[in-house]
Structure 1
Amino acid sequence: MFNKIKRFLTSLFLPVDAGRRGDCNRCGDCCKLPYPCPFLQFDAEGLSRCAVYHLRPPSCRKYPRIAAENLTTQTCGFYFVVPEPVSHRVPPPVFEPAPIQAKIWATEKTG
């Protein structure tokens, strides 16, 4: 029950991982965690359907929010990709000192 409450609270405030890809394939396995949802229904073809789809809580809307939360990896249509590491960084700009003649000319004008 603690995990169910934790998932509900994190789904309220935290966004879905940017690396999440895929779509719901209507397997219904996530709706059985940790026990079958009373709103879970199946059609004649065996595909799941939510009876309160438009009113479902955020934990259902965002499942799986992060890769560690995906407990149904074998059947879930969602998957996560690892972002590519940054291969190089842009070097900071290099500032060169002013030419010496410009400094001499500036002192002659003021002196």
Structure 2
Amino acid sequence: MSHSTEVTDSTFESEVLASDVPVVVDFWAEWCGPCRQMAPVVDEVAGELGDAVKFVTIDVDANPATARSFGVRSIPTFAIVRDGEVFHQFSGSRPKAAFKAEVERVLA
């Protein structure tokens, strides 16, 4: 079972910017090997953090406007949004512990 919600350019504002909890946005694409490699890591961390943080995915090919507005140049890129603002953004695949540490910064 996936712990992430898929969002689009049209649902991004309501699902992410208006969220009352921090949101991790996973910018990915079907053809991206590192994105597929990170998917189970993201899902595990999402499961462990429960309701403290919301996880969403957005396909950059199908939703270029949102990717552009976040300045996404390489994928996977992860943006942590809190109170409608980007709190932290990072790119690339990493081990689970390192990914979880990046996400937990928003909870500190």
TM-score by length of 2: 0.23
Higher Rg of the two aligned structures: 1
TM-score by length of 1: 0.22
Tell which has more relative contact order, 1 or 2 (C-alpha 8 A, sep 6+).
2
Judging by fraction of residues, say which structure has more helix: 2
